[in-house]
Amino acid sequence: MDVLYLKKEFLKRFGESDKNIHIYFAPGRVNLIGEHTDYNGGYVFPCALSYGTYLLARQSDDQHIHLKTTNFDFSLHVSIDEINRKYDNEWVNYPLGVMNQFVNRGYGIKGTQMLFSGNIPNGAGLSSSASVEVVTAFALNDIQNTHIGIMELIKLSQKAENEFVGVNCGIMDQFAVAMGKKDHAIFLNCDTLDYQLVPLILNDYCLVISNTNKRRCLADSKYNERRSECDKAVEYLKTAKNIDLLGELTTEEFEKYQLLITDPVIRKRAKHVVYEIDRTKKAVEALSDNNLIEFGKLMNASHDSLRDDYEVTGFELDTLVEESRKIEGVAGSRMTGAGFGGCTVSLVHINKVTEFCLKVGEKYTLKTGLTADFYIADVADGVKRLV
């Protein structure tokens, strides 16, 4: 995105000179495998993307927060004393949630002008919300000189979404947005936050993200319901094993104790989580061994589990995956993100990308009436200051 254009937009909205305007960027993310495992204390394997959220910020002399964006009409001019108010289904809830976390931690908030501009497809499941949260936290930390460590910024960004926005997300999205590294994926233990940067060496393959263009609002989806179901599964299993999270179970232990979960739906939810964690570990091993065919098979198994056991896919995502797998040169394809719409990620041979986009797009439109968008995933660094 053109930084000079964004500066002009900032001045058009806020006036004055272009002095003391700082520019920040936080990426979106795609999760390669390990879905709905983060809030269960399991492993995930995301990477940061080259598109994300730009933020131009400048401290102001008044005691007000000014929030504007190039993406939506809604803007906000509010006193610092009133930033604890939530606005129904508006984008400003994400930066406001972060500001409230600063206040709750005793750092306070100063008058600030902010202009956001994002190029992540809205509602695509590529973590535009975490991108906004992390770039807000990073920018406030920088211009207010609060000296908060990056790990604390990640945690407070997650808290903002949990407590202010009302989505009980795990920490994967904020972590990937903050800690991403170009041409690497992050093998993250969401319970301990131990992580490893794994080189993403795909040889003759590339990652293609396919957007269903079916919007889904996380706060209104069944995301929170799935999290509650996982908590119920833990309660069933506690009669035999002292655990707090499903991520503490091995596949062998799940097979041994699964019938303690008398509700068959809850049992299916737990099965997905435990086996998805195992698949994620195996996928990282396959990538390290340069076995991309095995990596693709694990991607396929992940989607099938999300469809059959976790039930978070839906017709549009399933159609994209089904048509993707028909293309020669596709090693694997799966939904990515929370589900109920959003995107898939596919491992596609570089010689088949054009055919993939044309044929999958054509079949998808024929079956759903929607038009899919396709992106080659360019793996990038995490949040940073540009100017």
Q: Which of 346, 33, 333 is nearest to 207 (CA)?
A: 346
Among candidate residues 143, 157, 88, the one with its CA nearest the CA of residue 114: 143
Phi, psi of 198 (to 5 degrees): -110, 120
CA atoms within 13 A on the CB side of 82: 9
CA-CA distance, 292 to 112, in Å (whole number)? 47
Is-contact 270 246, C-beta < 8 A?
yes
Helix 172-179 to helix 150-159 angle (10° resolution) is 150
213 φ/ψ sector (left φ>0, alpha ψ -120 to 50, else beta): left
Are residues 143 and 346 in contact, defined by beta-carbon separation less than 8 angstroms?
no
Active site residues: 173
Give me the phi and psi of 209, to 5 degrees please. Answer: -95, 130
| Burial class of 12 by CB neighbour count within 10 A (0 to 12, 13 to 18, 19+) | exposed
Amino acid at 234: V
